[in-house]
Structure 1
Amino acid sequence: MKPSKFLLLLCTALLFSLNTFSKVTLPAIISSGMVLQQQSNVALWGKAKAGSKVTITTSWNQKAYLATTAKDGSWKLSVPTPKAGGPYTITFNDGEKLVLNDILIGEVWLCSGQSNMEMPVKGFGNQPITNSNELLSDADEPGVRLFRIEKNMSRTPLTELNAKWEHSNSETTGQFSAVGYQFARMLQQKLKVPVGIIQSAYGGTIIEAWMDKKSFAGFTDVKIPADTVKMIKNEPFVLFNAMINPIVGFNIKGALWYQGENNWFTPDTYDKKMEAMVKEWRSIWGCGDFSFYYVQLAPNAYPNGKDKLPVIYEKQAKAMQLIPNSGMAVSVDAGSQTTIHPPDKTIISKRLLYWALNKTYGKKGVAYSGPVYQSLKISDNKAIVSFSEIPIGLTAYNKPLISFEIAGADQVFHPAAATISGKTVVVQSDEVKSPVAVRYAFKDRAEGNLYNAEGLPAAPFRTDSW
């Protein structure tokens, strides 16, 4: 027998042997230590020998479920989960048992975006996180589980991940998203149920990289490079393929999104892209219109920005009307003039949490939105601005209001004095005798300090469309 023919037969035999005796294999997201969404039908999937039967037994109800593998060995089914609790086990059996241990039932959230979401509790080089050591010293919490996806990119959809579920402690938490971890920890404390938080974030990236290929229908400003060109992280859909696709289908209650810094110079279609991304994520995830809460960018001295940041402010605010079951956490008072990575991530996590507590978990007494611009009235040389979302009024905490500007018909804006009067803000300037328009914190570097009495900030706004 010729050597080449012998090798071919040997490889065929080995492949047949591996297929015959292949064991149940599971994706990284389905493993010991995971948190499954409570009171839902959660998806489980994996691979086994082609044409075989896989029995899945869940310890919380001692019921067995049967899956039949496809020709490629893949299988998928869903199982019902009870109220929060655990730890439990899940046993997979195709003739050989595979047991997952230490499984909790509770609430599951995804946190995604670019560097402000990626920024870990321990901070970046020379860029700290406020109270990081205190957070780390208090991180031993068995009811919080972390799943951090390593940064990766691909032009084709992947199913494998280099990641694992981990217990929250000072070491694992130090590496994890400061926004995501604090949201999960506070949610666990408020609801008193286990919380699993999944991190999929990559610094310096654009929204287009996180969108599925199907999401680009109708957009004319997206260029997809040829496969012969070296791949970069800001190509369309390469991060979705590598860092989102492998977990699609794993039941989540909601998603947190902190991104936009790399889209500030091309903001025109940002709101529509957010809408398209979320719509497609929800469609392929298959667990309904899960909650989607996101962070409006903070003021910053962008290089050669020329005040383009306010345009993305508006697009982010508009996205809330385009995306059902969504909410925006405002950070106009929580930025930094020296870094694009503001250190106070606690306040951001809290504001995301307020949206979740009220809108997702029904705690109606918890405020979630700051003042929202509603209307403008001109009275002599004064502009009177009215707001919604101010049930018991406005405040600047005994400090003068800042970052208000006013303009007349010449469309030239001047710094203005602004005072709270009941449930309105009165704006005026000696430079403008007949005001027409008002802007608030509508520049790249402009911070804001207008709040409702519940302590939540107003987002930057303008009354004009110039």
Structure 2
Amino acid sequence: MNSLKLFYSPYLYLLSALFALVACSSEQHSIQVNPLFSDHMVLQQEEEITIWGTASPNISISLSANWTEKLETNTDAEGTWSIKFQTPEAGGPYSLTIATDKEEISLKDILIGEVWLASGQSNMEMPLNGWPPRDTLLNSKNEIASAGNNMIRMFTVERNLSLERTNDFRGEWFVSSPETAGDFSATAYFFAKRLQKELNIPIGIIHSSWGGTPVEAWISKTSLKELGDFDEVLLSLEDPNMVELKNEWYSRWRTVEIPSKNNDWLELNLGDLGLSDPNYDASSWEKIDLPGPIDQRENWQMDGVIWLRKSFLLKEEPIEDYTLSLGAVDDMDYTYVNGQQVGLTVGKGKHTFKRTYSIPKSLLKKGENLLAIRVIDTGGGGGLNDSITLSGNDESIDLSGTWELLPAAEIYEGQFYVYDLKESLSLDRPNIVEINSHSPTVLFNAMIAPLVPYSIKGAIWYQGESNVGRASQYERLFPKMIEDWRSQWQINFPFYFVQIAPFNYGNNLSPALRDAQRKTLELKNTGMVVTLDIGDPVNIHPANKKDVGERLAGLALKNEHTKELIASGPLYKNHLIEGNKIIVSFSHLGSGLMASELPLQGFEIAGEDRIFKDAKAVIANDKIELTAAGIAVPKFVRYAWKDT
């Protein structure tokens, strides 16, 4: 049997239409408008706004809003159109109508205020609900219960990637309420909440993030090529031979849309449920050792549906129900014993949930039984990550070890590509270059570019963990991304970012990345939030997102709204060497340097040999004076140069 080689490419939504339709289906309307323009949207106040979409070629389009006069334009030969209009000061609700002589789209409950783009990786993506049981949020239930605020709204861009710049994306504006806020980015929500409270105007957040992603995925091809770091990768991704191989492979399989709602996952049937039947012959399946990853094997890697099976023996007839403990399954599972479903955990953000299912004694028998698990890995890593045990009848059965494995469907272009299970076992798949959320440019193309030129006040950013170990490169990449985004919107908007969370990344690599982020402050109109004091050394997703969001809001309030407040801790300004002493001066002193604990910890100095030693540090005249035993002529100084 030839080995099956599979291609990993999560959520590459290259939809056929130029723009997603808002309010009505394409069968009813030829007018289409960018998804950002929909009911409950927030528009940037006192700004010239561009609204855009498609309709039939060479026809007249009009826009009517109850704060401005009627405006008109014509579609071009391809049917695209755009209209510019001026917004008033913050207020609402308003309505807006886009019409031809035959049809119209009406948008309701529009507010005008401030709009911010929030982006990054998992610490920006983490919702108010958290990702329990491991990744929880402080005071989550109370925050959600009190989240009713019509003046805070969030649009979350669905995960999507593309090798080419696209206008297609999916998402929806939601008004903050106890029913909706649990799915909001927690950091962005607390940012919006503080802004809204202190400014008393509507705040809209466009949230576009993806956990575990590096900064190069969020930069345009044009800007990335100016750096040259990823030229070889970009060439391989654009290879026409690779495109042909990929198209030929996927054309073999039928497709099924990926569910967009959690409830839709409950009934997902790809014609594969018979694989749970104990009578199904799985002798030709691949073997795998569990617990461990299941999405990467010797000859393939993939996201999609993977079936796992293992037989186990019961020495005696069951006299009680058994308990199956699977631990965490990344991401979803449908679990069967002897062909009958005994449990399932589906929906977004379930990859850290530990599964414990009760097995009725009526399903079990003395002798051989079969456990089958249908795992769906929607992106990133996939597998069973903890011990797997079955307990009952005063015995505990360890189910770790060798299992049988069969891929049943692959995720690609926003769909399941469902294999012919008889044919797939004998196929030798071509070796196609991997495209995933780590690939350069793919998230810019699919999750940032389609938002341009929707008017925004500025951007907030929380990312960097996936670039740990590449600090010198990040020092060039991150400022390049900021400049790239500003050039896309053609405005030097404020950009506020969060230093990566303190965590044991290994080999003490994160301080250099934090320092690269600090150096990005050399770009004008930027600001940085420090999180060393509110992190969690054993969890890369700290539970305190409230302080993070509020600190970001503080930067915006001080810099964009001239509020009199302290929005930054001390930042290095310069230093002076006097004998055996280094004296460090700081900016952003507030009311002066102070420390909650003495003596001061975390400072190190070194001589010409760069061998750093712990320093004695004291505050003197709002400066830090540093000395260390054995260093007569200090040359270098550093602070908090540890992962945690």
Q: Which residue of 1 aligns with 2:237?
A: 226
Distance change in 2, residues 1:54/1:204 (3 Å) = same
Larger relative contact order (CA 8 Å, sep ≥ 6) = 2
How far residue 380 of structure 1 moved from its aligned partner, in angstroms, is: 4.5
Which deviations, in whole Å up to 9, do the C-alpha atoms of 1:123-143 show, x marking residues without a partner? Answer: 123111122122112100000
Contact conserved, 2:606 with 2:636, CA < 8 A, in 1?
A: yes
1:241 aligns with 2:440: no
Identity of aligned residues (%): 39
Q: Which residue of 2 aligns with 1:157?
A: 165
Distance 2:201 2:603 in 1: 43
Contact conserved, 1:81 with 1:105, CA < 8 A, in 2?
A: yes
Aligned to 1:188, which of 165, 181, 196?
196
1:320-399 correspondence to structure 2 within 5 Å: 320-321=521-522, 323-363=523-563, 365-399=564-598
Q: Which residue of 1 aligns with 2:499?
A: 296
Contact conserved, 1:19 with 1:49, CA < 8 A, in 2?
A: no
Q: Which residue of 1 aligns with 2:326?
A: none
Distance 1:272 1:436 in 2: 26
Q: Which residue of 2 aligns with 1:9?
A: none
Residue identity in the other structure for 2:458: G
1:177 aligns with 2:177: no
Distance 1:21 1:37 in 2: 30
Contact conserved, 2:501 with 2:541, CA < 8 A, in 1?
A: no
Q: Which residue of 2 aligns with 1:453?
A: none
1:43 aligns with 2:242: no
Q: Which residue of 1 aligns with 2:604?
A: 405
Distance 2:598 2:45 in 1: 45
Distance 1:198 1:102 in 2: 17
- Higher alpha-carbon deviation: 376-385 or 232-241: 376-385
Q: Which residue of 2 aligns with 1:141?
A: 149
1:2-21 correspondence to structure 2 within 5 Å: none
Distance 1:412 1:20 in 2: 71
How far residue 431 of structure 1 moved from its aligned partner, in angstroms, is: 4.1
Give the TM-score of the pair, scaled to structure 2.
0.63
Distance 1:376 1:249 in 2: 43
Distance 2:186 2:140 in 1: 9
Residue identity in the other structure for 2:114: E
- Higher alpha-carbon deviation: 30-39 or 209-218: 209-218
Which deviations, in whole Å up to 9, do the C-alpha atoms of 1:42-100 show, x marking residues without a partner? Answer: 11011111110011001123x10001101111101211000100000001110212110
1:319 aligns with 2:520: yes
Q: Secondary structure at the match of 1:79?
A: strand
For structure 1, the residue ranges without an aligned partner over 5 or more in a row are 1-17, 446-466
Distance change in 2, residues 1:441/1:213 (3 Å) = same
Which deviations, in whole Å up to 9, do the C-alpha atoms of 1:246-289 show, x marking residues without a partner? Answer: 21111000000111111111121223222222222222224x21
How far residue 19 of structure 1 moved from its aligned partner, in angstroms, is: 10
1:122 aligns with 2:129: yes
How far residue 422 of structure 1 moved from its aligned partner, in angstroms, is: 2.4
1:52-63 correspondence to structure 2 within 5 Å: 52-61=59-68, 63=69
Which deviations, in whole Å up to 9, do the C-alpha atoms of 1:194-213 show, x marking residues without a partner? Answer: 00001100011011111111
Contact conserved, 1:211 with 1:237, CA < 8 A, in 2?
A: yes
Q: Which residue of 2 aligns with 1:111?
A: 118
Contact conserved, 1:371 with 1:387, CA < 8 A, in 2?
A: yes
Q: Which residue of 1 aligns with 2:100?
A: 94
Q: Which residue of 2 aligns with 1:200?
A: 208
Distance 2:28 2:138 in 1: 53
Residue identity in the other structure for 1:382: K
Which deviations, in whole Å up to 9, do the C-alpha atoms of 1:337-378 show, x marking residues without a partner? Answer: 101111111111122111101111222x12222212223334
Contact conserved, 1:145 with 1:167, CA < 8 A, in 2?
A: yes
Distance 1:272 1:406 in 2: 27
User: How many pairs are equivalent?
Assistant: 422
For structure 2, the residue ranges without an aligned partner over 5 or more in a row are 1-24, 243-432
Residue identity in the other structure for 2:479: E
Q: Which residue of 1 aligns with 2:36?
A: 29
1:167 aligns with 2:175: yes
1:443 aligns with 2:609: no
Distance 1:178 1:236 in 2: 27
- Higher alpha-carbon deviation: 152-161 or 352-361: 152-161
Q: Secondary structure at the match of 1:89?
A: strand
Distance 1:97 1:151 in 2: 30
1:273 aligns with 2:477: yes
Contact conserved, 2:188 with 2:549, CA < 8 A, in 1?
A: yes
How far residue 292 of structure 1 moved from its aligned partner, in angstroms, is: 0.7
1:76 aligns with 2:82: yes
How far residue 218 of structure 1 moved from its aligned partner, in angstroms, is: 2.4
Residue identity in the other structure for 2:481: M
**Structure of greater Rg:** 2
Q: Which residue of 2 aligns with 1:432?
A: 631
- Higher alpha-carbon deviation: 406-415 or 212-221: 406-415
How far residue 243 of structure 1 moved from its aligned partner, in angstroms, is: 1.1
Contact conserved, 2:566 with 2:590, CA < 8 A, in 1?
A: no
Distance 1:326 1:409 in 2: 33
Q: Secondary structure at the match of 1:268?
A: helix
Contact conserved, 1:108 with 1:197, CA < 8 A, in 2?
A: yes
Contact conserved, 1:150 with 1:162, CA < 8 A, in 2?
A: yes
Distance 1:49 1:137 in 2: 45
Distance 1:166 1:314 in 2: 37
- Higher alpha-carbon deviation: 350-359 or 387-396: 387-396
Q: Secondary structure at the match of 1:217?
A: helix
Give the TM-score of the pair, scaled to structure 1.
0.86
Distance 2:170 2:574 in 1: 51
Q: Secondary structure at the match of 1:218?
A: helix
Distance 1:20 1:139 in 2: 37
Distance 2:116 2:638 in 1: 36
Distance change in 2, residues 1:280/1:407 (3 Å) = closer
Distance 1:107 1:56 in 2: 22
